[in-house]
Amino acid sequence: MSNRYRLITGLSAAVVIVAILLCLCFTSFDNINDVFAFNNTTIVEGTVDIGDILLEGYADRKDGCAFNEEIMATFFSKLTGNASKSSISDVDALGTLTAADIRAKNGNKDLLLTMDGKQWTVTHLTKDRSGNTIVTLFLATPDPERHQWNKWRSKSIDIEYPSNIYGTSYIRSHGLNIASDYVETEGATSLTASSQDEAHKYAKFTMHDIKGSLTDYIVTPAQVEYQETENNITVNTYDNYTLPNDAYGTPSGTIKWANRDGVDMSLAPSKAGYTDWKDDYIWLPSFMEVGSSSDSFYGKMDGIWMLSFNQLDYVQFSWLRSGNYRTPEFVMLFFFF
């Protein structure tokens, strides 16, 4: 697997992320199977499939319940690694777990679950700013749709809307159904408005007022402390620079923006819309979050989530939100060789 740069206007898949509140969900050991996972053509053995965490017909229920209590209890027990510890209080006591920590509790197997008909792999457990326990989920099956990160590209950082600012990107607005204002053309001095689509595949994850909406159970990056200060330098020893779009606040530690050939990347955070993604319900991951495997272009680099090779195995030409360290013309991309 290789994490390399790609022209913004190319077509690639979106690696969608959602962080959900663990407030209503998870349960017993019935029907827990070792299945295949995370590959474009088949599923690789060695993943624990929790099942569908949503109640059948939840959108029509009058009691407001959305999650399957039994399945959620199973999920909790897999997070704790103890069949007798299957309550939210047990999970609350865990603090922060990476995907590697979760595998260690489950025979070196990743956890897989289904929500809204889509399979997700569990990448990280932590608490939000309010003290709620949350898990971050990584879309675990290939999305056949290809999407442009932006419709245009430019090497200039001095323009009003550079082409590698995730907050004003076309993929965020259209590909993820955020309906954020985006830059339609090079040289634009104003943003193009967009509207959300109830028929969009991510509508239930992005729209409040539609039947079956799941936004009440999703935490935005603004409530996740580590995403405020991410800095590529802490994990990437190859391109040892701070990357655009990783943090919505001030990056932690040494901040080192590239400044080459008249392109000063330290200007990126001052651009309009740069931090807007912090309020999104779904988002693209950063290079720092996912890291890279030992056979990648960069070599082994453990990201924040410490994902397994299997968790990244399906990803073929998939976008990240991270921009290129030295030019607005490129952004980060996952691909295998």
Q: Which of 42-51, 70-79, 123-132 has the lowest mean pLDDT?
A: 42-51
Report the mean per-residue pLDDT for the chain.
83
CA distance 11 to 312: 19
DSSP label at residue 158? S
CA trace torsion 51, 204, 220, 301 (10° rounding): 50
CA distance 55 to 68: 5
- Listed in sequence order, the residues at least 6 apart from 34 whose beta carbon sits closer than 8 Å to its beta carbon are 45, 46, 47, 48, 49, 109
CA distance 297 to 144: 24
Condensed to tens digits (0 to 9), the pLDDT of residues 100-151 reads 999 999 999 999 999 999 989 999 999 999 889 999 998 887 677 788 899 9
Percent of residues, the chain, with pLDDT higher than 90: 62
How many secondary structure helices (H) and strands (E) does the chain include?
Answer: 8, 17
Condensed to tens digits (0 to 9), the pLDDT of residues 76-103 reads 999 999 999 999 899 999 999 999 999 9
DSSP code per residue over 72-113: HHHHHHHHHT-TT--SHHHHHTT--EEHHHHHHTTTT-EEEE
Condensed to tens digits (0 to 9), the pLDDT of residues 290-331 reads 887 555 555 567 889 998 888 877 555 688 899 999 999 989
Percent of residues, the chain, with pLDDT higher than 70: 80
Give the DSSP H or E segment for 225: helix 225-228
3-state DSSP helix/strand/coil percent for the chain, to nearest 5?
20, 25, 55
Examine the pLDDT at 237 and tell me if it is beyond 80.
no
Sheet (strand 2-7) strand order: 2-7, 330-335, 318-323, 11-14, 147-148
What are the φ and ψ backbone dihedral angles of 77, each rounded to 5 degrees? -65, -30
- Listed in sequence order, the residues at least 6 apart from 62 whose beta carbon sits closer than 8 Å to its beta carbon are none
Question: Coil, strand, or helix at residue 270?
Answer: helix
Residue 242 in tokens: 């701070």
**Average pLDDT score over residue span 234-263:** 89
Neighbours of 35 (CB within 10 A): 15
Residue 337 confidence (pLDDT): 42
CA distance 206 to 17: 12
- Listed in sequence order, the residues at least 6 apart from 166 whose beta carbon sits closer than 8 Å to its beta carbon are 172, 244, 245, 274, 277, 284, 321, 323, 331
Residue 41 in tokens: 């053509």
Residue 282 confidence (pLDDT): 92
CA distance 138 to 312: 10
CA distance 196 to 320: 22
21 beta partners: 134
